[in-house]
Amino acid sequence: MFIKRLFTALFFVSAFILNAQIEEQQLDNLINETLTTFDVPGISVGIFKDGKVVYSKGHGVRSLTNKKVMTDETLVGVASNSKGFTCFALAMMVDAGKLNWDDKVRKHIPEFQLHDAWVTQEFTVRDLVTHRSGLGLGAGDLMFFPEGSDFDVSDVINNVKYLEPESSFRSEFKYNNNMFIIAGEVLKRVSGLSWEEFIETKIMKSVGMTSSKASYNRVTDKSNIIDAHTMAEGKVIQIPHDWSETANPAGGIVSNVTDMLTWAQFLMNDAVTENGERLLSAKQFHELWQLQTPLNVYPNDSYNSNFKGYGLGWFVADVKGGHKQVYHTGGLLGTVTQFTMIPDLDLGIVVLTNQMNGSAFNTITNTIKDAYLGYENRNWLEKYGQRNTDYIKYNDSIKAAVYNKIEKAKKLKTLPKPEHIIGTYTDDWFGDVIISHDAKKGYTIKSKRSSRLYGELLPLNATTFVAKWNDRSYDADVYVQFTFNEKSEAVSATMKYIAPITDFSFDFHDLELKKTN
């Protein structure tokens, strides 16, 4: 039955091009098939084309608990699509003469310090928002991810100096959220407003984004907001909203399809509101979408791109014949989103979901985009559906193999004694991790500063254990590898994720834990 529905949907997709518009029923069918294929409870989709909204609708349910329908007014955390707002706000400060993109960060935050003294002196505001710091992917994200830690912005500013770079300064693109947190602090110091106040009063209000808020905690009416969901051990479950207020400049905004289409229309109208108010000079608006940090383009690129890279808060690329595409995605625990614009086609596409599976938004965005770019049916639903199935199966096989070894390890006679393992292990930027042992319950591991990170510590072999977090929705179990002294006592530990499906913001691999007691 599923295969029949799948091919029906693909047939509809193949007929998408009709007077350069998407037929509503055809798109409805695709989205409903996407919900089923990727186990997503709810998706809302919007299309802006040639000066008007041509599609704006929700599908499925906003929550598996209340079963209320998803609509284009349903609020969703747009996550890293917030980064474009942060850079727009900074550009407004450039226009106001209070900031320059190439100002040294220490001009505005004197206490700012990175691992390397020269890089610290040379690091600019532009460097904060272009992912070229030299730090690794997601480095330091455990300070705000998952929610529940006690780190604040001052902690982030103080602790980034302990993060060792993976590459030389400005040489590689490595996505980093903490630099955007610091950029939000720059905005606060030069504008006199908090990041949240600035985004809401200076941008959202002027643009006409009437339902959006700069953070989840600022949403007072939660009667039409999603619940987050994820796949946990083979089943989609509802999970709590998860995003630390500390990281709002990197991903805190809550919005809906209606408002995000308004944002798209405003941006593609050269940052001029419907009332004719220009919020950003043409020069600064142009600067936002210029490539700053290049990314590789592969020979088999799906859109025949010649270049890709990151601008100021936006990814930029050319697609099919040189159309400039400006876009971003966003991901929280339990939701992922995608925002795409092709300005010379006056085309904006918004896809918001309440389950963390990027294959769903890629299926929808690519199919819509293909219709307007003139591609023949490329069966994105089938391609991503099979890829998703294979990827989950691959990760499950890795995890199953590890836990099979853990069962066998119970019989090993070479395992360390509890007194050689238990104690407090300290990382310079993350703080204390405490390992305990109970004769009946075994080992436990717990972060002192990130209260939701606790679980079992299971022996794997003589030097390596596995941290199995109590919250199974994280899907972030890690190896804990100990180093011992000549007395067989653990003196340090490192961590490494078990399966590649683990979200990069669980950056356990950046921890250097030293036993302190």
Same-domain check for residues 419 and 370? no
Whether residue 197 is predicted with pLDDT greater than 50 in this model: the reply is: yes
Mean pLDDT of 22-42: 95
pLDDT at 21 over 70: no
Q: What is the pLDDT of residues 79-123, one digit of tens each?
A: 999 999 999 999 999 999 999 999 999 999 999 999 999 999 999
Question: Is residue 189 a contact partner of residue 89, using CB atoms and an 8 Å limit?
Answer: no
Torsion sign (Cα): 20, 25, 31, 37: negative
On whether residue 190 sits in a domain, the answer given is yes
Three-class SS state of 349: strand
| Domain limits for position 457 | 410-515
Decide if pLDDT at 478 tops 70.
yes
- The pLDDT of residue 14 is 38
> Is the Cα torsion angle 471, 147, 234, 139 positive or negative in sign?
negative
516 CB-contact burial (10 Å; exposed 0-12 / middle 13-18 / buried 19+): exposed
Kindly indicate the confidence band of residue 178, based on its pLDDT and cuts at 50, 70 and 90: very high
pLDDT at 101: 98
Q: Report whether pLDDT(184) > 60.
A: yes
pLDDT at 128 exceeding the cut of 50: yes
Q: Does some domain include residue 401?
A: no
Q: Give me the chain's average pLDDT, please.
A: 94
CA 98 – CA 108 distance, rounded (Å): 10
Is there a single domain that holds both residue 372 and residue 418?
no
Whether residues 231 and 332 fall in one domain:
yes
Q: What is the rounded distance in angstroms from the CA atom of residue 497 to the CA atom of residue 469?
A: 12
Residue 9: pLDDT above 60?
A: no
- pLDDT above 70 (res 271): yes
On the question of pLDDT at 4 being above 50, the answer is no
Spatial separation of the C-alpha atoms in residues 229 and 240, rounded to whole Å: 8
The answer to whether residue 384 is domain-embedded is no
159 lies in a domain? yes
Q: What pLDDT is recorded for position 5? A: 37
**Residue 321 confidence (pLDDT):** 82
- Distance (Å, whole) CA 27 – CA 400: 38
Residues 22 and 153 in one domain: yes
Residues 216 and 260 placed together within one structural domain of the fold: yes
Residue type, 478: V
Do 418 and 374 fall within a single domain? no
pLDDT at 18 over 60: no
Reported as a single tens digit per residue, the pLDDT across 328-373 is: 999 999 999 999 999 999 999 999 999 999 999 999 999 999 999 9
Cβ proximity of 422 and 436 under 8 Å: yes
Count of domains for the chain? 2
Based on the fold, state whether residues 354 and 466 are members of the same structural domain.
no
Predicted confidence at residue 233, as pLDDT, reads 86
CATH assignment at residue 105: 3.40.710.10
pLDDT at 7 over 60: no
Check whether 1 has a pLDDT greater than 50: no
Q: Burial, 390: exposed, middle or buried (Cβ in 10 Å; 0-12, 13-18, 19+)?
A: exposed
Alpha carbon 240 to chain centroid distance?
A: 16
Nearest CA to 367 out of 349, 355, 353, 390 is that of 349
Nearest to 107 by CA among 163, 36, 180, 189: 189
CATH of the domain at 443: 2.40.128.50
Which residue in 391, 394, 381 sits closest to 43, CA to CA? 381
Give the model confidence (pLDDT) of 300-320 as tens digits.
899 999 999 999 999 999 999
Residue 50, judged by CB atoms within 10 A of its CB (0-12, 13-18, 19+), counts as exposed
Which 3-state string (H, E, C) describes 199-251?
HHHHHHHHHCCCCCECCHHHCCCCCCECCEEEEECCEEEEECCCCCHHHHHHH
Q: Do 279 and 351 belong together in one domain?
A: yes
**Quick check: 398 and 498 in contact, CB under 8 A?**
yes
